[in-house]
Structures are given as structure tokens and as C-alpha cells.
Structure 1
């Protein structure tokens, strides 16, 4: 029986996975021809375009299982591999002042965005997913938070689209604002690292100002990435508490357990987030070869690219236009707040003469 299941699963999933792999290859080519467009951003856009084309229902049905595998399992593998980019030693070199400000920015923008989303009554888990994507690390954070909140793909797709939109706009907008704000290269790098969402978007934005800006931006950005595990764990605690309150209310109303539709909640810290933490510790304390780190980086971009294409392919432009207005408002407000707070942190660091900023 098991011998038959593997080929059957392969035949079912291979069309969608093959399509996601081809889309990633096309995204790499697009990024090579137009360096201002990060590969992962191109993957999301290609997925949205695929969903918008008038394919026959049989075509969509053929690729749907594989795209679902990409959107969920590959995204989680990408989160694990992201940990190999993060060394606690490099984070410590920023100093306590900068570290404290980065943590404060992440926490403030997360709960502010979450609150705005709830106030505007965003559907499903969109509030917490937008908060995670904009305050922590873009699509990777959205995927991690979706795992602990049991978010549907339809809830995940809109935040992915919005974080891609705002991050792409940042690539053009932030360098244009730099001379107006009077930021030197290191200060610009800190601003970019603290306010732009995905790692790829940070690299695309900061490299415009040179190697110094890029180096500072990446370290600051990866410090935000380090907040992924504690914020996901905190969200898991809140979600578990909400479940208990709901179950207690249903029990008080005399509803049988089977009528309440109780299901087992995922672990407060999902296994792939534990894998992320393990990868961080390995990168910090184990001497890894440059070849391994380069392979991990390429692997992470590959699986995340395929995952983001799968998520993009689940976005309906019509539904996004009809129902995404409130989510767009939340995203733009969150983006503005994190940009302002990050600029304030740069000014404080400048006034304090932080060594990490040169």
C-alpha cells in the first residue's frame, strides 16, 4: 500500500510544484535583468498574475495540490533555513541602545498594527498576520504566525500581497527620501533595516547607498528576524487563552464538546520555529563553511520563492479589490508608523554617537 502511495502523491503534487519551480526560475531571470526587483517579490507577482489569467478549471485543479504544498510546507522550510543567516554575535555588536530600540520598534508596531486591524474588523487572522509581516520579517513572519494561529490560505494571501506591495514601494521611496532627511550611508542602512519588511527588499533598498549601508541594514534586519520566535510564542499564548475562554463560554452555555467543534490547537511554538531557533544557535556557535552558508541561502530563496508563488496564486484580484480596502489601510498605517519610529531611532543613535553607525 505504501509503495503505491508515494507515486500517487508524486503524480498529484508534481504539476503544481513544477509550476512553482519554473516560476522561481523566471523570477530569478527577472531579478537578474532588473536588479531593483527582488526575486521573492517577483515570485509573488507571478503568482498573482497566474491566478488572474483565464485558465481552464482542469488546469487549476491539476496544479492546486502542489501549490498548496509549496505555500505551506516549503514556506516553513524557508523559515528554518532563515536561521542560518542569523548570528547572535553580529547582533550583539550593535550595542544595547540599538538592540533595545529595535526590540521596542518591533513590539510597538506589532501590537499597534494588530489593534488597528481588529478595530477595522479585518476578517480571519489578517490582523495578526499583517502585524507580523510588517513589524518582523515580511513573508517569513506571516508564514510562521499562520502556523500558530491556524490561519487559512485566504487569510495569508492578502498580507503577503500587501507586504510585497509596500516593500517594493520602499525600494524606490526610501532612497529618494534619504537626501531630504540628511542621512549618511550607515544611518540610511539602519533606517532601511529597521523599517523594510523582507530581507530581499532590505538588500535591494540598502545596496543603492553602497556597501556600508548594506552591511548595517542586513545586521539590523536580522536583529528584527530574531524577534520571530518570541513574538510567535506570545501570539500562541494569546491564541491558546482565547480558545480556553471560548471553550469555557460554550461549556457554560451547556453545549456538548462535539457541538463546539473543538480541535487540537498547534503547539505554542511550532516545530519549524524550533528549527529556526536551532539554526540560529548552530550559526552562532558552530563554525560553518562558507559553502554551507551559501547553499543554505540559495536553498532558502528557492523554497521561499516557490512558496510565495503558491501563495500569490491563491490571491483573487477581484476579492482583493472588493475586500482588501481595510487591509490596505492597516498596511499603509503600519508602514508609516514603523518608518517614523525607525527614523526616530536613527536620530537617537546619531545623538548618542553609536559606534555601530560609524
Structure 2
């Protein structure tokens, strides 16, 4: 009798192994795409786009040309959800909270102004263009805060469609790249100091990669100002994400109470990593490796998003998302005189 009871056990192992293999296959595919994007990102023009943007674009091309086998899907989902959020947590090691504090009230005032204006303006544009409110929210977060990372952080809170995430990331990626090139071209003709140029770059461009690339013509002074202002926007991702969760889920909150409120717990992991980095208790060499790991985890997650998107999804939305993103960015650029006024006054 005892021998019979032990017989089913071996039958369970193949199923578990098969599931593990499916996850590994999909994850390996996203890693391959991320590594490929990393090599491409080292090329002159593609440096502005960065590895994450290239990863999602390569993933989309792969999905719509080579196709993806069903047994890869589980691992792809793992990359686009678990690894993506792990990457955001590790991204916190890029922040030193004392640097932002030392920059003074001008940085905080500027970042609050930029995020508040941009979010409200783009959400209004979404209504005018009759764009899906979830997609409008993602484009607003990506433009106002920190590009793809903000979109990824906000997406699970508002319970949007995965294709909307990819569309928003693509719009922000392309527009941010064009914006960075525009800044580099206009720098010699702008009647502002190198420091002020850095402030505008950090306050108005989407991705950190865009900010870093665009600030180079202004030298070290411009680059330092740009990164500090941009990291201030990144820090505000935490309260903004919580506020978005409250606004987008207020009906469920009224019916079911606080338990129904989606809390992006990985955002608190991001804050904890920032706090640890601020204390400087982790050696700088290790932090460098953690940031590199963060970049590749985010790239793998982006590849996973791209591998789940059909071109038909873009065709359904038409040019509305692009229109909202472009006009929203133009509105943010129009805010530049007020941004410089704040920095001159405070």
C-alpha cells in the first residue's frame, strides 16, 4: 500500500520541469533582445534612444515578423511583469536624496509645476481627442515624470490593457528622442546660460537617457543641473503614483474601502533603494552593478511588452495617442519661461 502511495510523486516532476522550461525560454528570449538592444544603443544615433526603448521596438518587430511560439509566452509575461518591477526597484539606487535636498526649493518647485501642469494638460487633451482615459493617463505620466519607468509604474494601478502600455512607451520614446535632438541643435542659439539650459533639459525631456544626451553640449555644469532636476521628477513618481491610484479607483474605493485600492508596492521598494543609496552603506562598485542590472531588467521587461503587441493594436488607436503626446510636449515646452523664472527668483 505504501509503495502505491509513493507512485504519483514522479509524475508531478515532469509538469513542474516543463513549466520551468517555459519560463526560461521566454525570459531567455527577452534577455537576447535586451543584449541586442544594448549593442545597438552604443551606436552614435541610438545612444539617445537608449536600451529600453530599443528593446520594446525590437520586441514589437519580432512579434509581428518572426512571431512568438506559445510555450515562450509564460516567460515573456514573467519578464514584462516581475522583472520589470524588479528593475524599477533597483533604479532607486540612482537617487541620492541629499543631492536633491541640497539643490534647494527651486528644483522641487519646478518639478511640482512641471508634473502638475503636464498631467492636467494631457488629460484634458485626451478628452479633446476622445482618447481612452487609461492611455491618456499613461502618456501624461510618461511625459510629466520619467518616461517609460513612469508608464510601467502607473500601468498596473489603472488596470489598463497591455497594448496601451506599449503604445504609450513608443510615443514617449520617439517624441523624447526628437526632443533631445532638437535641444542639441538649438543649444548654440538659445539666449540662456549653460546652467539654465541644463535646468530646461531636466525639466522637460522624457527619459533620463534623453536628458543626459541633450545636456552634453552644455558641459559639466549643464549636465549636473539637468540630472538633478530630472531625478527630482523621478522622486515625485511615488506620490504621483499613489494619487493616480486613488483617482482612477475612487469608485471601487467608495464601494469596497481601502482594501480595494491598488497599491504599487514596488514603488516603495524604489524608495527604500533610494534611501539605502543616500546612506551610502553599499559600496559604490556594487551600486554600479545594481544599476546595470536594473537597466537590463527594465530592458527585458520592455522586450516582453513589445513581444505582446500587434501592429493592429496601434491601428485601432490611430494617430490620437501621437497627437496627444506631441501637443502635450509642446505645452510643456511653452512652460519654459516660467520654469526659468522660478529658478531665477528662488
TM-score (normalizing by structure 2): 0.88
Unaligned runs of 5+ in 1: 249-263
- 292 and 69 in structure 1: CA distance in 2 versus 1, 3 angstrom threshold: same
Within 5 A, what are the aligned runs for 1:206-225?
206-225=215-234
Q: Name the CA distance, whole Å, in 1 between partners of 2:274 and 2:140.
A: 23
Shift of 1:265: 3.8
Secondary structure at the aligned position of 2:132 is classed as coil
- 232 and 5 in structure 1: CA distance in 2 versus 1, 3 angstrom threshold: farther
Q: Is the 8 A contact 2:123 2:136 kept in 1?
A: yes
User: Is 1:99 aligned to 2:93, yes or no?
Assistant: no
Within 5 A, what are the aligned runs for 1:1-358?
6-34=16-44, 35-53=47-65, 55=66, 59-123=68-132, 125-244=134-253, 265=260, 267=262, 269-349=263-343, 351-352=344-345
Q: Name the CA distance, whole Å, in 1 between partners of 2:226 and 2:111.
A: 12
Q: Name the CA distance, whole Å, in 1 between partners of 2:21 and 2:114.
A: 46
Unaligned runs of 5+ in 2: 1-8
- CA-based RMSD of the aligned residues comes to 2.2
Q: Name the CA distance, whole Å, in 2 between partners of 1:314 and 1:302.
A: 19
Q: Name the CA distance, whole Å, in 1 between partners of 2:174 and 2:41.
A: 16
Corresponding residue of 1:252: none
- 99 and 11 in structure 1: CA distance in 2 versus 1, 3 angstrom threshold: same
Q: Name the CA distance, whole Å, in 1 between partners of 2:208 and 2:52.
A: 10
Secondary structure at the aligned position of 2:249 is classed as helix
Shift of 1:7: 2.4
TM-score (normalizing by structure 1): 0.86
Shift of 1:242: 2.6
- 79 and 5 in structure 1: CA distance in 2 versus 1, 3 angstrom threshold: farther
- 60 and 347 in structure 1: CA distance in 2 versus 1, 3 angstrom threshold: farther
Q: Name the CA distance, whole Å, in 1 between partners of 2:335 and 2:38.
A: 33
- Which string of whole-angstrom CA distances, capped at 9 and with x for unpartnered residues, describes residues 189-236 of structure 1? 111111111212222222243222222111111100011110111011
- 11 and 321 in structure 1: CA distance in 2 versus 1, 3 angstrom threshold: same
Q: Is the 8 A contact 2:52 2:298 kept in 1?
A: yes
Secondary structure at the aligned position of 2:160 is classed as coil
Shift of 1:116: 1.9
Secondary structure at the aligned position of 2:147 is classed as helix
Q: Name the CA distance, whole Å, in 2 between partners of 1:65 and 1:313.
A: 12
Q: Is the 8 A contact 2:110 2:203 kept in 1?
A: no
Shift of 1:20: 1.0
Shift of 1:95: 1.4
Q: Is the 8 A contact 1:116 1:330 kept in 2?
A: yes
- Which string of whole-angstrom CA distances, capped at 9 and with x for unpartnered residues, describes residues 231-269 of structure 1? 111011112313356x59xxxxxxxxxxxxxxx7453x3
Shift of 1:42: 1.6
Q: Is the 8 A contact 2:56 2:166 kept in 1?
A: no
The number of residue pairs the alignment matches comes to 332
Shift of 1:113: 1.2
- 205 and 52 in structure 1: CA distance in 2 versus 1, 3 angstrom threshold: farther
- 326 and 220 in structure 1: CA distance in 2 versus 1, 3 angstrom threshold: same
Secondary structure at the aligned position of 1:288 is classed as coil
Q: Is the 8 A contact 1:84 1:280 kept in 2?
A: yes
Shift of 1:285: 2.7
Moved over 6 A (4+): none
Q: Name the CA distance, whole Å, in 2 between partners of 1:72 and 1:124.
A: 22
Shift of 1:324: 3.3
Q: Name the CA distance, whole Å, in 1 between partners of 2:74 and 2:192.
A: 48
